[in-house]
Structure 1
Amino acid sequence: MFGLRLALGRRDGCRAVARAVSVAVLGFGLTLAAPAAMAQDVLVLAAASTKNAVEKLASQFKAKTGMSVTSSFAASSALAKQIENGAPADIFISADLDWMDYLQQRNLIKADSRVNLLGNELVVVAPKGSPIKPDLSKGGTLAAQLGDGRLATGDPSNVPVGKYAKAALEKLGQWTAVEPKLARADSVRAALVLVSRGEVPLGIVYRTDAAIDPGVEVAAVFPPDSYPAIVYPAALTAISKSSHAAAFLDYIKSPDGMAVWKEFGFVPAPKAP
């Protein structure tokens, strides 16, 4: 499965590889019928970029309370659609406000439980040891630096990291030149794998993703004013059945929980303007 090679000359090939990698990295989404044994588990659907932190939080929560947490990770867009289609989730953690808003507008979350939990930063990553120093100046030459290679990030049409990336590149006047060279991945972690394995020379991910993969390094950091503030909201779903879900949501936003988020590079959510 991991012997895939990106067909650099064709956008469709890039998309196919990105989808295949996404399945390999994140291919354990919840089915619509949860086993009876999971009835009292807290079922969390969380943005792919939160995977390592959520798994540690779940382990600590079980050690403290004896309550189990089952998690599934993918792009926020995919998870929101799963919830809309009846996936038995108790908690949703999104990598942007839009997909939480999408569910709230459809009365699929408990609005009074919603909280802006985390913030993050947008970076360009390259394979470890790469000599490329991406030009993120206004009207810069990022597209030319890619040569015949591709730039991996989430699909800007729906994946939050891709939406942030598009906004940043538009602000820098580089989107028109870079857009034809995109490898559109199904999640930020799928984009990260493409860079880590050398399938593409550069990728746009969150700083927290760059920190967990020893195969990549941060090659450049986007100016913070070039993209909308990155906000991760969390909320209980409207169909939550677990009596422990509210306790887990409280835990992940508690001082102990925030210490874990900080360990993995997340920061508190930026304050609303």
Structure 2
Amino acid sequence: MELSTESMSPLQRFTRFSGHYLLLWFFALMACPQVVHSEIQPDTITVFAASSLRDAVGEVAQHYTAETGTDVVLVFAATSAIARQVGGAAPADVALLADQDWADWLVAQGTVAQVTAFAGNQLVLIGRDDAPIADPQDIEAALGDGVLAMAQVDAVPAGRYGKAALVSLGLWNSVAARVVQAANVRAALRFVELGEAPLGIGYASDLVALPNLTQVYAFAPDTHPDIIYSAAQVTPKSADFMVYLQSVAAQDSLVRWGFSRLDVAP
């Protein structure tokens, strides 16, 4: 049953409204492609990327531009929002997704020409200065009277992976009522940064980008679906960028930002 806003805590209301505002902003941006592309030249590509890729893909894009002379326009949002927008003919040349299911959905829609995996990640429990947890059954106790910050568990990859892990460990039913959901993984971890939530679920790569946070527990890979990042080619002009993502240089950047290396080109 969905809570009314009157019965929500301030944190829950903030989570709901901030998520709505983020999505409204993203959809408004996508509804005005002439603004996004008003100064885009033929030697420019537009990349829609999952929020968890913000720092890594920013670095990859800089190196790609330096090497090829092609500018890269970056748009970041939750994978679910990106997939729906690309499926609705948003002006993207390539979409970088944190969930293979959404990539498969785009293929089924006939929207993308090619999908290639280019990175992996690890699901972790994140806190501020918390001591490591050896037994996952201690997670509930570690929350104390606080809440658990997660990305949206029914749509956003990090949230779906997190819920799957908690279900696998037999913890979901005991913590579900204390989960505060955000529009994407970075928004969820913002609650932890601000001290509004003692713990949150995110990726190992988030710890590189957010050095004030620490890993409390690493979820075993067999507790959730494989975390694979996929590049979905939307237009032919992004073919070179798709290839570049597999290069040693791009893979080195991804590893530097906490992602797992996949096979790279020689």
What secondary structure is seen at the aligned counterpart in 2 of 1:265? coil
Contact 2:251-2:262 at 8 Å conserved across structures = no
Aligned to 2:103: 100
**Superposition CA RMSD, Å:** 2.6
Q: CA separation in 2, counterparts of 1:148 and 1:20?
A: 26
The answer as to 2:149 corresponding to 1:148 is no
Distance 1:193 1:38 in 2: 32
- Cα deviations by residue, 1:236-270 (Å, 9 ceiling, x for unpaired): 11xx2x73x11111112111111111111111349
**Contact 1:153–1:162, Cα closer than 8 Å, also in 2:** yes
The equivalent residue for 1:158 is 155
Identity within the alignment, %: 32
1:142-185 CA-to-partner distances (Å, cap 9, x unmatched) read 23432321111111110000000011001100000111111111
Alignment of 1:1-273 (within 5 A): 9=9, 12-13=12-13, 15-16=15-16, 19=19, 30=30, 31-33=32-34, 34-40=36-42, 41-110=44-113, 113-127=114-128, 129-131=129-131, 133-134=132-133, 136-137=135-136, 140-237=137-234, 240=235, 243=237, 245-269=238-262
Displacement of 1:104: 0.7
Cα distance 1:39–1:102, how it changes in 2: closer, same or farther (>3 A)?
farther
- How many angstroms does 1:84 deviate by? 1.8
Q: Identify, as 1 or 2, the structure richer in helix.
A: 2
Mapped to 2, the partners of 1:144 and 1:28 lie a distance apart of 41
Contact 1:122 1:206 in 2 (8 A): yes
Q: TM-score, normalised on structure 2?
A: 0.86
- Unaligned 5+ residue runs, structure 2? 1-6
- Structure 2 distance, partners of 1:103, 1:32, is 20
Report if aligned partners of 1:9, 1:148 keep a CA contact under 8 Å in 2: no
The one-letter code of the counterpart of 1:91 is V
Deviation at 1:69, TM superposition (A): 0.3
Paired residues of 1:48 and 1:73 also in contact (CA < 8 A): yes
CA–CA separation in structure 2 for the residues paired with 1:143 and 1:263: 32
- Paired residues of 2:11 and 2:196 also in contact (CA < 8 A): no
Cα distance in 2 between the residues matched to 1:230 and 1:95: 7
Tell me which residue corresponds to 1:3: none
Find the aligned partners of 2:18 and 2:216 in 1 and give their Cα distance: 21
Q: Where does structure 1 lack aligned partners over 5 or more consecutive residues?
A: 1-6
Secondary structure of the corresponding residue to residue 110 of structure 2: coil
Contact 2:123–2:162, Cα closer than 8 Å, also in 1:
yes
Q: Confirm or deny: 8 A CA contact 2:65 2:72 kept in the other structure.
A: yes
CA contact (8 A) 1:119 1:266 kept: yes
Label 1:199 to 1:22 Cα distance change in 2 as closer, same or farther (>3 A). farther
Number of equivalences: 253
Deviation at 1:123, TM superposition (A): 0.4
Query: How big is each residue's C-alpha offset from its partner over 1:16-42, in whole Å with a ceiling of 9 and x where there is no partner?
Result: 26527957x989955433424214211
Determine if contact 1:166/1:175 at 8 Å carries over to the other structure: yes
Assess if the C-alpha contact under 8 Å between 1:84 and 1:103 holds in 2: yes
Question: Larger deviation: 10-19 or 179-188?
Answer: 10-19
Separation (CA, whole Å) in 2 of partners of 1:77 and 1:45:
11
Using the TM superposition, give the Cα deviation of residue 86 of structure 1 relative to its aligned residue in structure 2, in angstroms.
Answer: 2.0
